[in-house]
Amino acid sequence: MTVRVPRASLTTKSGKSVFVTRSPEETEALGRRIARGLTVPGVVLLRGSLGTGKTTLARGIATGLGLEDSSLVNSPSFTLVNIYKAKHLIYHVDLYRLEGERDFRSVGIEDFFGEDGVTIVEWGERLPFPARSALAVDLDDAGGDTRVITVSKPIRGKHKSRK
C-alpha cells in the first residue's frame, strides 16, 4: 500500500505550516517527515484533544528518527515516560494524567528535557514551564480520520525550567 505524504497546504508568515491528513497512515507519514527536520537534542510538543492522533504522530516521529519497531510506540498515559532506543534516545512523555507542579517534578522531565536525544511530549499544552526551542504541533479533528495538523517553528533560546 502506498501512503501519501502530506504536503503543507498553507504556510503562514508566522512560520506555521498547516497539513491535512486523511488516515492514521498519513498522520504517521507526516511524523516521519517532521522527524527529518528535527535537530538533536530536540523537543516536540504535541497538543490536541483526546483522540486527535498524538500517539500516531509520535509513532511516525520515532520511526523517522530510526526506531525500527513502530509497535513499541504506545501512549505512556500510565507509565508517563517511555524511552526508545534508535539513532538517538527518544523520550516519549504523556502529561495527560499530571496535575500540579509536584506531579511534574515527580516525573523528572527536567532531567532529560532537551538534554540528549529527542523528547516527544503528548499533551504539551500542560507543560508547566516554557519550552523554548521546542517544535509545537497542534492536532485538530476534522471528522472521521481527517486531521488538521499545524506545525509551528521553534522559539529560539535555551530551555529554562522553574526551579
Average pLDDT along the chain, 163 residues, taken 10 residues at a time:
57 78 96 93 94 96 96 81 92 84 74 81 86 90 96 60 39
pLDDT of residue 3: 58
Distances (CA, A) of 148 to 55, 85, 113, 115: 15, 29, 27, 30
Taking alpha carbons only, the member of 58, 30, 16 closest to residue 151 is: 16
Taking alpha carbons only, the member of 95, 98, 99, 102 closest to residue 123 is: 95
Write down the pTM of the prediction: 0.85
Domain range list for the chain: 10-152
Which set of grid coordinates corresponds to residue 77? 498515559
Residue length of the chain:
163
pLDDT of residue 153: 76
Looking at CATH, the fold of the domain delimited by 10-152 is given as Rossmann fold (3.40.50)
pLDDT of residue 95: 87
Taking alpha carbons only, the member of 149, 162, 163, 147 closest to residue 44 is: 149
